[in-house]
Chain A
Amino acid sequence: MATITTDGVRHVANLARLEFNDEETEHFTEQLARILEYIGKLNELETDDVPPTSHIHPHQVFIMGAQEGAAHVAKPDVVKPSYPREEVLVNAPEAEEGYFGVPRVVDRSH
């Protein structure tokens, strides 16, 4: 298994929508490398013929990759009332006219 570099940490941080200063980047690189080294222990295992376990109840499959004999757990498609809009928006940092507010994403100059 590969280890992780500071560039790798910057790349992953961007994917995860996190940002670190140089000191934090160094710190995380060091710690993640050490954890990944420990995790490398899994390479001792021969797993070519082992199926992956994503879930421990194989008779219930909810999304993709249904196994043989698996029952899909699906609800009847019935419209039911949801939570009132105003109650849901109470926790929003910014709400306007019944919508969540975010910083502007459309450039007005075009």
Chain B
Amino acid sequence: MSLYELTAHALHEKLKNREITAVALVESIYARIAEVESHVKGYLTLTKDIALEQASHADAGFQKGDEMPPLAGIPIAIKDVICTKGVRTTCGSKILENFVPPYDATVMTKLHEHGVVMVGKTNMDEFAMGSSTENSAYQITHNPWNLDTIPGGSSGGSAAVVSADTAVCSLGSDTGGSIRQPAALCGVVGMKPTYGRVSRYGLVAFASSLDQIGPFTKDVTDCALLLNAICGSDALDATSVDVPVPDFTRGLINDVQGLKIGVPKEYFTPALDTEIADSVQRAIAVLESLGATVEEISLPHTEYAIATYYIIAPAEASANLARYDGVRYGYRNENPEDLIGMYKKTRSEGFGEEVKRRIMLGTFALSAGYQDAYYKKAQKARTLIKSDFDAAFEKVDVIATPTSPTPAFKIGERTADPLQMYLSDVMTTPASHAGLPGISVPCGFVQSGLPIGLQLLGPPFAEEKVLRVAYTFEQNTEHHRQKPKIQTNGVV
């Protein structure tokens, strides 16, 4: 196996035993990038100089025989929505084409403290709005399993680079499913921690009551290691919650005996691809055969989650994106007639269509005369959705569902119909409303060879329990070991 194919925990052993150097690992990753990145197009910015410098630093520590953190010297990719000091951060938008943050997001500061090596910044739907990464103002990212299909979104670049072995792991952000859905579609592990677990200081805001940063990894062990590095309350983010952060590797227990797994009947609708339904049912049967108790549960308000989401998220986005006015950073129209004209031209030229659509939807939902009928109604529906989960977790430890109703779809297939695209998130938005921790782990493939994800959800701050079920599943199956064969000679 080449170095670039290995997990972070396997690489850590090699680094610790001085079998390899972090610099050699960076070179291996960059050789892989040279081989496949022109086909996958997962990165917006590559930071090889920074990577080599950070790798040398890690090597110096290993050389001295210092006690090095598990992620020291490990190459990671960062979604371009997370501010990186001195490195362009575009959010996939023209409006931030030349934005170079003067500071690091708290997650970046934490990763630096752990000696992690930054490979580059990954492609995404503009301002994290989308389910296919086709809303990027820069490029289309291709799913490594089939280059004609999308990688999911909005963190499509972060999922694709882990799948393509052009990064060992990555960070993304999840508002309505933007980590879990692309993880499922690209056949990697992706986790959204509990709302408030990870500081969002330096995460460019989309929908503040929902946004959360989380990891993409090649296996559940790496997921726990990355959570250990990024979780914790932060004085710079008042929405980060001051609760003790456990050592998440304690959740890596290969045993589900005594755990109750709830399977919500509302997720198995006719709209669910039958191959996915079968695969997820088989995955649940595996967990049952390993000693978990499985019971059918009901989350009756599931069908309202998308409608609720497409009020709350755009409403919050319309407020958050008001800051892009051409004054302090980003694009500005050069020929305005006056100040208001400058705002309007700057925003109309700088934002892409989906972002404008959501700003319009959100501004409408918050406008005089409509706020109670839309925004307040959605907040009440959110209470009902959250109450469904509260009641379910009285009875079960973890909830198992499909992550996505379909496998990766063809590039261009859903771009003409925004509503159709929105429905891609039907399995992930309910847990977002309730702020729950959720993971997607590979659980099989459809006939055409595209990966399927199993979504596991837990009560707030019960990441360890979710990891335990995910880890047990992984240790007793082989799906996560499959690698895509990227068609580097094909027509793209």
Pairing of A with B: yes
Residues of A within 8 A of B (CB): 1-2, 4, 8-9, 11-13, 15-20, 28, 31-32, 34-36, 38-45, 47, 50-57, 60, 62, 73, 75, 83, 87-88, 90-94, 100, 102-105
Q: Which 5 A-B pairs have the closest CB atoms?
A: A52-B379, A56-B435, A93-B332, A91-B329, A47-B380
How long is the Cα–Cα vector from A102 to B332 in the complex, in angstroms? 10
Cβ of B409 within 8 Å of any chain A Cβ, yes or no, is no
How long is the Cα–Cα vector from A28 to B363 in the complex, in angstroms? 13
Q: Is the CB of A19 within 8 A of B327?
A: no
Q: Is the CB of B238 within 8 A of A62?
A: yes
Q: Is the CB of A18 within 8 A of B434?
A: no
Within 8 A of A (CB), among B328-366: 328-332, 336, 338-345, 347-348, 351, 356-357, 359-361, 363-364
Contact of B100 among A34, A62, A90 (CB under 8 A): A90
Q: How far is the CB of A80 from chain B (nearest CB, A)?
A: 10
Q: Is the CB of A100 within 8 A of B360?
A: no
Q: Is the CB of B102 within 8 A of A88?
A: yes
How long is the Cα–Cα vector from A75 to B345 in the complex, in angstroms? 38
Q: Is the CB of A53 within 8 A of B386?
A: yes
How long is the Cα–Cα vector from A62 to B374 in the complex, in angstroms? 23
Q: Is the CB of B99 within 8 A of A52?
A: no
19 other A-B residue contacts (CB within 8 Å) besides A50-B380, A100-B327:
A17-B340, A18-B360, A34-B419, A39-B374, A42-B307, A42-B311, A42-B377, A45-B377, A47-B381, A56-B386, A60-B241, A62-B238, A88-B102, A93-B326, A93-B329, A93-B332, A94-B332, A103-B339, A104-B339
Q: Is the interface of B mostly helix, strand, loop or mixed?
A: helix
With A16-B318, A18-B360, A42-B378 known to touch, is A56 a contact of B342 (CB < 8 Å)? no
Cβ of B61 within 8 Å of any chain A Cβ, yes or no, is no
Contacts of A32 in B (CB 8 A): 357, 360-361, 364
A89 nearest CB neighbor, chain B only: B328
Within 8 A of A (CB), among B295-332: 301, 303-304, 306-308, 310-311, 318, 322, 325-332
Contacts of B384 in A (CB 8 A): 45, 47, 50
B387 nearest CB neighbor, chain A only: A50
Contact of B374 among A1, A15, A45, A93 (CB under 8 A): A1
18 contacts between A and B (CB under 8 A): A2-B373, A12-B364, A16-B360, A16-B363, A18-B359, A34-B419, A38-B419, A39-B374, A41-B303, A45-B384, A50-B383, A52-B376, A53-B380, A53-B433, A56-B433, A91-B329, A103-B339, A105-B338
Q: Is the CB of A102 within 8 A of B327?
A: yes
How long is the Cα–Cα vector from A16 to B345 in the complex, in angstroms? 12
